[in-house]
């Protein structure tokens, strides 16, 4: 134990600088112009695994962005931990709101500012450095496998096929993922659930060309107005989602679990002050933690149509667009919800316009049993380094591939995340606190130790 900590103290600066190098690669999976950066980033991940002591590391091509696989197998009798993470990042837009370049990482007030600092380069790289620590200290309680993909932020369209085709390669005893957050460094927590996702794009077409709003306005349906009316109708006055059947498969959460959730630290006025809002919005009958944890949601991620430039243009546009995503909870199924959503949009679309609605990507919700060996090892590892038992919480985000991992590989997943909700994931000025980065690297070896010991 002391050997781990000692090694980490000696190599602290290099552990940081290596991460900064990785953050400098603009590996934006959603944008085709970054295809070359994706390859460059995959190569950097492979090289980092080899440098950290992996006995093998390979880049697997896919129809999309490459997958990096690496392993350190020292003793077949030891348990094997499969670490999953992703080297791709969200687009950095809107660029003008960043205080420094999204791919030009800076350290300020003890925090690393860069796109991907937390989600997920900073988090998966902790495992690479934890492996190096265990190797160099000669204390490696487990075998390790790494599956680091490049398409998590676009819904992992090629990972399922890879997993199905490589079950033996990925065979392990548990899957460990650091891609979620803790309540705070003072209140460590472990996500026991991630929500599923149905992400669609909608195109509303009115007239076959942009029109002069004076000559035609008032006589031809404006696709922006119609799209707005359709969007407005998706929530009722209690902010329930109005799609018929949407809630049918939502598993009831017991009053006891809701009671437990209510005991997690939450200060509403602090929450509102942090977001700069005067009041909170959400589904009637549920608390903020419930709204983001145990309830499904429907959010508008983007909208556009007509003239959006400087000044004024009196146009009645031909088209309007929206990106809409639903977060799903057990036992909702992504395919089913996507179909309900798209069918409902077609049903409410008036015949003034024509509608195209297509799936971007989806993923199933997933729950980790708190009595599983993986969960117990993570809880004990966190207690070891934080000095406090972590609280199990339901996270609001999605890791679309989770359910598939369990189904195909028969493994339970542990979400041992070291981020914070305030890390600006998917937003300008994404950050990751240095203390969280180092604490993660310190904690991970204990997971391996306790998991190998059978807790």
Tokens of 124: 């998966």
231 makes contact with its own copies (CB under 8 A): yes
Using the contact rule CB under 8 A, the part of the chain among 35-43, 75-83, 141-149, 224-232 near its own copies is: 224-232
- φ, ψ of residue 322 to 5 degrees: the values are -150, 150
Query: By CB under 8 A, is residue 368 in contact with its own copies?
Result: no
Residue choice 67, 82, 243, 316 for contact with its own copies (CB under 8 A)? 316
Q: Tell me 318's DSSP state.
A: S
Residue 351 is a binding residue for its own copies (CB under 8 A): yes
| Residues 197 and 334 sit within 8 Å (Cβ to Cβ) | yes
What is the C-alpha to C-alpha distance for residues 287 and 387, in angstroms, rounded to an integer? 29
Answer yes or no: 263 catalytic.
no
The minimum distance between CB 443 and its own copies, in angstroms, equals 22
- Tokens 């300020």 — which residue? 108
Chain residues 331-350 in contact with its own copies, contact rule CB under 8 A: 350
Site for its own copies in 397-426 (CB under 8 A): 397-398, 421, 424-426
**Minimum CB distance to its own copies smaller for 121 or for 327:** 327
Query: Cα–Cα distances in Å, from 196 out to 50, 65, 110, 142, 365?
Result: 33, 22, 33, 31, 4
Could you give the 3-state DSSP secondary structure of residue 295? coil
Subset of 248-277 contacting its own copies (CB under 8 A) = 275-277
Length of the chain: 455
Active site (annotated) includes residue 9: no
Is 224 a binding residue for its own copies by CB under 8 A? The answer is yes
Element (DSSP H or E) covering residue 136: helix 121-137
Closest alpha carbon to 19 in 53, 55, 44: 44
Q: Which of 256, 278, 284, 454 binds its own copies (CB under 8 A)?
A: 278
Q: Residue 174 in 3-state DSSP?
A: strand
In 3-state terms, what secondary structure has residue 203? strand
Shortest reach from residue 214's CB to its own copies, in Å: 3
Of 22 and 181, nearer to its own copies (C-beta) is 181
Residue 75 half-sphere exposure, CB side, CA atoms within 13 Å? Answer: 8
206 touches its own copies (CB under 8 A): yes
Check residue 247 for interaction with its own copies (CB under 8 A): no
Q: How many CA atoms lie within 13 A of 76 on its CB side?
A: 1
Q: Is 5 in the site for its own copies (CB under 8 A)?
A: no
Catalytic: which of 18, 152, 433, 442? 152
CA distance 389 to 41: 36
- Which one, 166 or 318, has the nearer CB to its own copies? 318
Please give the C-alpha separations between residue 378 and each of 45, 86, 139, 199, 370, in angstroms, as whole numbers. 25, 20, 18, 31, 10
> Does position 209 bind its own copies by CB under 8 A?
yes
Only segment of 16-24, 69-77, 127-135, 209-217 that touches its own copies (CB under 8 A): 209-217
CB of 131 to its own copies, least distance (A): 28
148 pairs with which residues across the strands?
Answer: 68, 85
Q: Which of residues 55-114 bind its own copies (CB under 8 A)?
A: 90-91, 93-94, 97
Q: What part of residues 160-199 is at the interface with its own copies (CB under 8 A)? A: 181, 195, 197, 199
Choose the binding region for its own copies from 12-20, 69-77, 127-135, 232-240 (rule: CB under 8 A).
232-240
Q: What are the residues whose beta carbons fall under 8 Å from the beta carbon of 277, sequence distance 6 or more?
A: none
Q: Measuring CA to CA, how many Å separate 34 from each of 28, 37, 215, 368?
A: 6, 5, 43, 34
Q: Distance between CA atoms of 308 and 230, rounded to whole angstroms?
A: 21
Residues from 119 through 158 that contact its own copies (CB under 8 A): 153-155
- For its own copies, which stretch binds (CB under 8 A), given 141-149, 212-220, 339-347, 439-447? 212-220
Is 355 a residue that touches its own copies (CB under 8 A)?
no
Q: Give the residue numbers annotated as catalytic, written as ranges.
A: 88, 152
């Amino acid at each position: 134990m002391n050997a781990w900590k000692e090694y980490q103290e000696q190599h602290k600066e290099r552990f940081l600088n290596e991460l900064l190098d990785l953050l400098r690669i603009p590996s934006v999976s959603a944008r085709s112009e970054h295809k070359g950066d994706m390859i460059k980033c995959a190569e950097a991940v492979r090289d980092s695994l080899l440098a950290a002591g992996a006995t093998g590391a390979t880049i697997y091509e896919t129809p999309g962005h490459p997958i990096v696989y690496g392993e350190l197998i020292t003793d077949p009798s030891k348990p094997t931990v499969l670490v999953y993470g992703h080297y791709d990042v969200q687009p950095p837009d809107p660029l003008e709101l960043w205080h420094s370049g999204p791919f030009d990482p800076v350290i300020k007030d003890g925090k690393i500012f860069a796109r991907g600092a937390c989600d997920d380069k900073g988090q998966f790289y902790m495992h690479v450095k934890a492996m190096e620590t265990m190797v160099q200290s000669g204390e490696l309680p487990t075998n390790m496998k790494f599956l680091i993909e490049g398409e998590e932020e676009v819904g992992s369209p090629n990972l399922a096929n890879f997993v199905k085709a490589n079950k033996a390669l990925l065979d392990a005893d548990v899957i460990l993922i650091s891609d979620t957050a803790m309540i705070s460094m003072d209140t460590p927590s472990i996500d026991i659930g991630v929500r599923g996702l149905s992400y669609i794009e909608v195109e509303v077409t009115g007239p076959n060309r942009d029109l002069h709003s004076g000559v035609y306005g008032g006589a031809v349906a404006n696709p922006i107005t119609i799209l707005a009316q359709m969007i407005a109708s998706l929530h009722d006055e209690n902010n329930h989602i109005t799609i018929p059947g949407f809630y049918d498969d939502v598993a009831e959460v017991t009053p006891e679990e809701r009671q437990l959730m209510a005991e997690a630290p939450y200060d509403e006025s602090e929450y509102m002050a942090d977001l700069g809002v005067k009041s909170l919005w959400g589904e009637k009958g549920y608390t903020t933690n419930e709204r983001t944890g145990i309830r499904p949601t429907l959010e508008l991620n983007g909208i556009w149509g007509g003239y959006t430039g400087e000044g004024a243009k009196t146009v009645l546009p031909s088209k309007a667009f929206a990106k809409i995503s639903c977060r799903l909870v057990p036992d909702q199924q992504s395919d089913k919800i996507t179909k309900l959503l798209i069918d409902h949009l077609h049903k409410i679309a008036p015949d003034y316009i024509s509608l195209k609605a297509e799936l971007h990507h989806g993923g199933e919700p997933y729950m980790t049993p708190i009595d599983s060996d993986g969960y117990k090892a993570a809880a004990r590892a966190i207690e070891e380094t934080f000095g406090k038992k972590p609280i199990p919480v339901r996270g609001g985000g999605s890791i679309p591939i989770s359910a598939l991992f369990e189904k195909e590989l028969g493994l339970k997943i542990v979400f041992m995340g070291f981020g914070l909700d305030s890390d600006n994931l998917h937003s300008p000025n994404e950050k990751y606190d240095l203390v969280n980065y180092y604490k993660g690297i310190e904690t991970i070896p204990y997971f391996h130790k306790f998991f190998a010991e059978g807790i």
